[in-house]
Amino acid sequence: MAMTVTSLHPHIGAEIGGLDLREPIDAAGVQAIWQAIDAHAVLVFHDQRLSDEELRRFAYRFGELEIGRSAARPGRRRLEFPEIGDISNLDEDNRVRARDDRRRLDSLGNRLWHTDASYMPVPVVLGMLFAVTVPPASPFGAGETEFADMRAAYDSLSDAQKAVVDDLVVEHDVFWSRGQIGFTEFPPGEREQYPPSRQRLVRRHPGSGRKGLYLSAHASHIVGWPIPEGRLLLSDLGEHATRREFVYSHNWRIGDLVIWDNRDTMHRGRPHDESQPRDLRRATTLDIGSTLDEAA
């Protein structure tokens, strides 16, 4: 059956039909998915049935896979493969984590608008989240994941604003993003393991050729600017970039696979009923070079 692409939003997001992602996919199929990613930045596949191994195999077709901050920690894990990130509220024994569980509090950082791993010297490219268990709603959200289009956000800046931001460099730091929600209890050694990294504020996407703002909750300050001034510009840009007109909100159904491109989007999770399991699995592809070496 042929792959179909149906736009979900004026700027960002498309639904892909006609594919069973368990089936082997040839180079032309990978190319077709890349084209859809370059055009829409976020892709939604419904009604998939993927084991962690099948998710890993599919993701490998798009690049080398990240081993995330959580999977890199020593100790027993709920999931078998380190390349599959555990985006859930469950502990090693599949029980809902206690309210004050440190890993739960760390993962609440995902509720801030961010792009993944921008605190790494070479950040990541694609995020692929697969929904295994979806939670009931809470008064403030139903566990949706929202995606904001950083290309449309850049395009809508004035020429004078673009001239200010185009060549800026930003320092990204996971301890800054977690500190914003008051989470400071990192496991020993992690501060040393994840020092801040510098990234361009404006990136040109190699697939679409479009410029986008590279913002994130990890973005701490602008290099060469007084800290408060840079922080305020980043906050203004973040407010601008996450206006509702730039946002696609994904309501999860079991069996959804959502792929997003971290180079031209931000995303955040929304609250949900925390007494019930929410179980998503994530594969993430790595980039090959620093954003500082990208052409403006």
As a whole number of angstroms, the distance between CA 11 and CA 27 comes to: 27
Nearer to ligand OGA, 66 or 173 (CB): 66
Under the criterion CB under 6 A, does residue 70 sit at the interface with ligand OGA?
no
Under the criterion CB under 6 A, does residue 269 sit at the interface with ligand OGA?
yes
Whether the CA torsion 132, 137, 138, 140 is positive or negative: it is: positive
What are the residues binding Mn ion (CB under 5 A)? 116
Under the criterion CB under 6 A, does residue 145 sit at the interface with ligand OGA?
yes
In angstroms, give the least distance from the CB of 294 to ligand OGA.
22
Residue nearest to Mn ion (CB): 116
Under the criterion CB under 6 A, does residue 280 sit at the interface with ligand OGA?
yes
As a whole number of angstroms, the distance between CA 274 and CA 99 comes to: 8
Q: Are 118 and 199 in contact (CB under 8 A)?
A: yes
287's contact among Mn ion, ligand OGA, none, with CB below 5 to 8 A by partner kind, is none
Place of tokens 């990204």: 172
As a whole number of angstroms, the distance between CA 19 and CA 210 comes to: 28
Residue 10: which residues within 8 A CB-CB, separation 6 or more? 245
In angstroms, give the least distance from the CB of 87 to Mn ion.
8
267, 281, 283, 291: which one binds ligand OGA (CB under 6 A): 267
| Per rule CB under 6 A, count of chain residues that contact ligand OGA | 10
Rg (CA), the chain: 18
145's contact among ligand OGA, Mn ion, none, with CB below 5 to 8 A by partner kind, is ligand OGA
In angstroms, give the least distance from the CB of 129 to ligand OGA.
5
Nearer to Mn ion, 116 or 256 (CB): 116
Nearer to ligand OGA, 137 or 169 (CB): 137
Under the criterion CB under 6 A, does residue 148 sit at the interface with ligand OGA?
no
As a whole number of angstroms, the distance between CA 116 and CA 274 comes to: 23
Residues 91-110 close enough to bind ligand OGA by CB under 6 A = 110
As a whole number of angstroms, the distance between CA 141 and CA 273 comes to: 8
In angstroms, give the least distance from the CB of 162 to ligand OGA.
28
Under the criterion CB under 6 A, does residue 256 sit at the interface with ligand OGA?
no
227-246 CB burial, b ≥16 within 10 A, e <16: eeebbebbeebbebbbeeeb
Residues 73-92 close enough to bind ligand OGA by CB under 6 A = 87
Which segments within the chain are labelled E, that is strand? Answer: 4-7, 14-17, 42-45, 85-88, 124-133, 145-149, 169-172, 197-200, 202-204, 211-213, 219-222, 247-250, 257-261, 265-269, 279-286
- Compute, in degrees rounded to 10, the torsion defined by CA atoms 29, 59, 285, 194: 170
269's contact among ligand OGA, Mn ion, none, with CB below 5 to 8 A by partner kind, is ligand OGA
36, 84, 120, 127: which one binds ligand OGA (CB under 6 A): 127
Nearer to ligand OGA, 230 or 269 (CB): 269
Residues 155-174 close enough to bind ligand OGA by CB under 6 A = none
Q: Which residues bind ligand OGA (CB under 6 A)?
A: 87, 110, 116, 127, 129, 145, 267, 269, 280, 282
